Amino acid sequence: MTPSLVANGGVAAGEAVAAPVTGRVAAVYSEVQSSRIDHKLPLPSVLTKPFKVVDGPASSAAGNPDEIAKLFPNVFGQPSALLVPSDSDSALPQQKLKIGVVLSGGQAPGGHNVISGIFDYLQDRAKGSTLYGFRGGPAGIMKNKYIELNSEYIYPYRNQGGFDMICSGRDKIETPEQFKQAEETAVKLDLDGLVVIGGDDSNTNACLLAENFRGKNLKTRVIGCPKTIDGDLKCKEVPTSFGFDTACKIYAEMIGNVMIDARSTGKYYHFVRLMGRAASHITLECALQTHPNITIIGEEVQNLIAELNEILAHDVVDEGGLWKNKLTSQSLQLFDFLPEAIQEQLMLERDPHGNVQVAKIETEKMLIQMVETDLEKRRQEGSYNGQFKGQSHFFGYEGRCGLPTNFDSTYCYALGYAAGALLHSGKTGVISSVGNLAAPVEEWTVGGTALTSLMDVERRHGKFKPVIKKAMVELEGAPFKKFASLRKDWAINNRYISPGPIQFHGPASNALSHTLLLELGVQA
């Protein structure tokens, strides 16, 4: 038997557990983990002194503003808020707050620091407040499953990867009954506020909750935080989602290692698939960090998946393949061209948000098969007599819970601290926004962006639904353009870069991702 390791979080097979009941024990930490706990995090200077909130002009929507206005009558059009220095904090209510926090969706390095940031804000500026952590994602809100977070419980999680402080889940608060359950929890816990740490779908849900609570005259306000390693939740005011920086650096280290492996013997061609549901920001960033010979940016093959989503939402997929008539001829051609195993994977069950579970499609194996088939054809034609051995890799889950980089640690702490400040200032339906990220941390800007301003309507499960528009790789954007200008050279020359492991000290420790720098107009 092949030697193997198994990690399942200590949960017995078949046991359904929302979150570990006991917290982490720092005594069993590695030296690096221990050294990170007490790593001091700087805050943007506006958060270290008295501040006030300045509102900008009324906002609109990313698309279809009339539809969005109808769907969010109570929160649509809110201005963006900016925190600015003030002489005193007297504008803030002098009251203890009861705040809930939930982690929603896939893990992303830095989530624990968002929670620490909220907690520290409450300790520093609203003494005697209570922070409840809903366990196991949005289901924890619906089922009123929570733990009261205190400094001893939070301490071992500071600057540590993972979401196990309260755990996450992918449930969605969707039906009238589920909204009712969320209301009941808000009332039962007398919540002044709720922070939803999640990706595009979870922040859409956060906005629906804000709308619903305000519509029902509940005092509970809702603030979102931009989380996802996929990097597809961003806009001008929210320059990046947390976790992207760490995950890409972890993957880039591994890619750099297999590149050296390839050069060491010439025995293998390594095919690497990276995580990322719809957008290819991770792949693009890792390419910019490592310079592989060939990089496929998935935005080019989106159409087929979109059509399949629509068909699966409406039609019975008959064995005779009649459903295929609904595909456009271009998508049909592509579908028929794919190996059967990949066709099957494309038809797999969608997640609760209606998304194809791309992480489960083994494109790296598909590409190896396609190359083998083509080389075999060439061999028979007499135009090839070489040797090809493909090695497939999927780097996905390995990057989601790593120790957060200095950037993610600091960014997340500021996002959480800002979420506390926004709730304290009476804001709802906004996403915590920390900007000016290429400048020293002290100069970072802090505010809140109306969630409805990020929204459009989209087809989901065959119906129009409000969604935060996913930020896909822009083929006209600076990161892609830089990649496109270099890829020909990378294809034939040895330009491999091995970035090595994440550094917490020294010259490379505070480097920002290429994507973020290029998008901010700084040469990477």
Q: Where are the beta strands (DSSP E) in 161-278?
A: 168-169, 193-198, 221-226, 269-274
> Does 120 belong to an annotated binding site?
no
Tokens 């935005």, residue located: 299
Catalytic, out of 164, 230, 245, 408: 230
Rounded CA-CA distance 521/37 in Å is: 33
Could you say which of 120, 164, 230, 408 contacts ligand FBP (CB under 6 A)? 230
Contact between 272 and ligand FBP by CB under 6 A: the answer reads no
Minimum CB separation of residue 454 from ligand FBP in Å reads 15
Q: Which two tokens stand for residue 99?
A: 């705040």
* Piece in contact with ligand FBP (CB under 6 A), picked from 100-108, 185-193, 260-268, 334-342: 100-108
Rounded CA-CA distance 122/419 in Å is: 10
Tokens 């909204």, residue located: 179
> Does 200 belong to an annotated binding site?
yes
Could you say which of 276, 292, 402, 429 contacts ligand FBP (CB under 6 A)? 276
* Piece in contact with ligand FBP (CB under 6 A), picked from 79-87, 101-109, 150-158, 466-474: 101-109
Amino acid identity at 292: P
Residues 25-44 that bind ligand FBP (CB under 6 A): none
Contact between 416 and ligand FBP by CB under 6 A: the answer reads no
Contact between 408 and ligand FBP by CB under 6 A: the answer reads no
| Residue 72 near residue 452, CB atoms below 8 Å | yes
Minimum CB separation of residue 105 from ligand FBP in Å reads 3
DSSP string, 63-128: S-HHHHHHH-TTTTTPPPEEEEE-S-STTS--S--EEEEEEESS--TTHHHHHHHHHHHHHHHSTT
By CB neighbour count within 10 A (0-12 exposed, 13-18 middle, 19+ buried), where does 45 fall? middle
* Piece in contact with ligand FBP (CB under 6 A), picked from 104-112, 159-167, 183-191, 507-515: 104-112
Residues 233-262 that bind ligand FBP (CB under 6 A): none
Rounded CA-CA distance 280/419 in Å is: 28
Contact between 277 and ligand FBP by CB under 6 A: the answer reads yes
Pairing of strands 193-198, 221-226: parallel
Could you say which of 23, 44, 100, 105 contacts ligand FBP (CB under 6 A)? 105
Minimum CB separation of residue 252 from ligand FBP in Å reads 16
Rounded CA-CA distance 4/1 in Å is: 9
Minimum CB separation of residue 505 from ligand FBP in Å reads 28
When the beta carbons of 136 and 276 are compared against ligand FBP, the nearer one is 276
- 230 classed as catalytic: yes
Considering only CA atoms, which of 228, 297, 238 is closest in space to residue 477? Answer: 297
Contacts of 332 (CB under 8 A, 6+ apart): 324
Rounded CA-CA distance 181/191 in Å is: 14
Q: How far apart are the first and last CA of the chain?
A: 47
Could you say which of 47, 208, 229, 518 contacts ligand FBP (CB under 6 A)? 229
When the beta carbons of 220 and 405 are compared against ligand FBP, the nearer one is 405
Cα angle 252, 169, 459 (rounded to 5 degrees) comes to 85
Minimum CB separation of residue 97 from ligand FBP in Å reads 27
* Piece in contact with ligand FBP (CB under 6 A), picked from 83-91, 102-110, 313-321, 472-480: 102-110
Greatest Cα pair distance, the chain, in angstroms, is: 83
Rounded CA-CA distance 484/18 in Å is: 44
* Total residues at interface with ligand FBP (CB under 6 A): 14
When the beta carbons of 106 and 256 are compared against ligand FBP, the nearer one is 106
Minimum CB separation of residue 467 from ligand FBP in Å reads 13
When the beta carbons of 80 and 280 are compared against ligand FBP, the nearer one is 280
Contact between 305 and ligand FBP by CB under 6 A: the answer reads no
> Does 132 belong to an annotated binding site?
no
> Does 15 belong to an annotated binding site?
no
> Does 311 belong to an annotated binding site?
no
When the beta carbons of 44 and 224 are compared against ligand FBP, the nearer one is 224
Q: Which two tokens stand for residue 137?
A: 């994602």
Contact between 511 and ligand FBP by CB under 6 A: the answer reads no
Q: Which two tokens stand for residue 96?
A: 């203890």
Contact between 106 and ligand FBP by CB under 6 A: the answer reads yes
| Residue 496 near residue 413, CB atoms below 8 Å | no
When the beta carbons of 327 and 454 are compared against ligand FBP, the nearer one is 454
| Number of Cβ atoms within 10 Å of the Cβ of 74 | 15
| Residue 436 near residue 444, CB atoms below 8 Å | yes
As a whole number of Å, the CA-based R_g of the chain is 24
* Piece in contact with ligand FBP (CB under 6 A), picked from 112-120, 155-163, 272-280, 316-324: 272-280
Site residues, ligand FBP (CB under 6 A) = 105-106, 108, 170, 199, 228-230, 275-277, 358-359, 400
Binding residues for Mg(2+): 200
Which residues are marked as active site?
Answer: 230
Binding residues: 106, 200, 228-230, 267-268, 275-277, 397-400
Binding residues for diphosphate: 106
